[in-house]
Amino acid sequence: MAAAAAESAAATALRAVLGRAAKAAERSGRAAEAVRVVAVGKTKPVSMVRELYDAGHRCFGENYVQEFVTKAPQLPEDIRWHFIGHLQSNKVKSLLAAVPNLHMVEGVDNVKIANHLDRAVSSLGRDPLKVLVQVNTSGEESKSGIDPSRCVELAKHVKLACPHLIFSGLMTIGMKDYSSTPENFKALVNCKLEVCKAIDMPAEQFELSMGMSGDFEQAIEMGSTSVRIGSTIFGPREYPNKKN
């Protein structure tokens, strides 16, 4: 009974987030449909994801390959899955093989991972895969992501040297505590302008994935087209090996 109550609470929370995202989009002069809300269910059971699916949501994200490849096959095939964060090259093939409906990888942060993804998509014979280049906008060494000064170089590599990948834009994770500052968002917007110019890509086709539970409205107001929301929808993370 408690689980059912928590799951319906997640559907209610999702509705509230979608409403807030729509208002933020309108404040930035865009339609609500211009912003995607990716519900990130890491550490949460398949049943909670299913609850949101049944409420009509289709965009979901995961951060851990092992958890992802277990969960995705138990859920409907019309979900548009996003892998978010740093992806290890030795896990690329298992991820792509287990999740044929993987819609996007948000976290290509070096040439090696781009090449691994490109080869894996080709060898599995699947449709080209959308990817976002991950930029480290906070300058923290602990964060994955390419330095802003090198984002054009990596975007060019994906676009020109990886025929089985679709370069779709940029993403950033922000600070250590997953909050971001306007400076982080501004840095990513500046990278977008540079990349658009360098590869001759129309700005309206360019994705900017920035903003999480604590700052997604501000991110949307600053131009985000995709926000990644976990705990505000699903409740606090549950890490079984960590003591309170």
Backbone phi, then psi, for 55, in 5-degree steps? Answer: -85, 0
The pLDDT tens digits of the residues spanning 203-218 come to 999 999 999 999 999 9
Q: Which fold has domain 9-229?
A: TIM Barrel (3.20.20)
Q: What is the pLDDT along the chain (244 residues), one digit of tens a residue?
A: 455 555 479 999 999 999 999 999 999 999 999 999 999 999 999 999 999 999 999 999 999 999 999 999 999 999 999 999 999 999 999 999 999 999 999 999 999 999 999 999 999 999 999 999 999 998 877 778 999 999 999 999 999 999 999 999 999 986 655 556 788 899 999 999 999 999 999 999 999 999 999 999 999 999 999 999 999 999 988 776 644 4
Which pLDDT value is given to residue 244?
40
pLDDT at 238: 78
pLDDT number for residue 243: 43
| 84 alpha-carbon distance from chain centroid | 5
Integer CA distances (angstroms), 28 to 69, 184, 207, in order: 36, 18, 15
* List of residues 6+ apart from 44 with CB closer than 8 A: 234, 235, 238
User: Tell me: the pLDDT tens digits for 38-89?
Assistant: 999 999 999 999 999 999 999 999 999 999 999 999 999 999 999 999 999 9
Q: Where are the domains of the chain?
A: 9-229
pTM of the model: 0.93
Average pLDDT across the chain, whole number: 92
* C-alpha–C-alpha distance, residues 171 and 207, integer Å: 8
pLDDT of residue 239: 73
Q: What is the pLDDT of residue 13?
A: 96
Collect all residues with Cβ–Cβ distance below 8 Å to 200 and sequence separation of at least 6. none
Q: How many whole angstroms separate alpha carbon 86 and alpha carbon 144?
A: 6
Confidence (pLDDT) at 3: 53
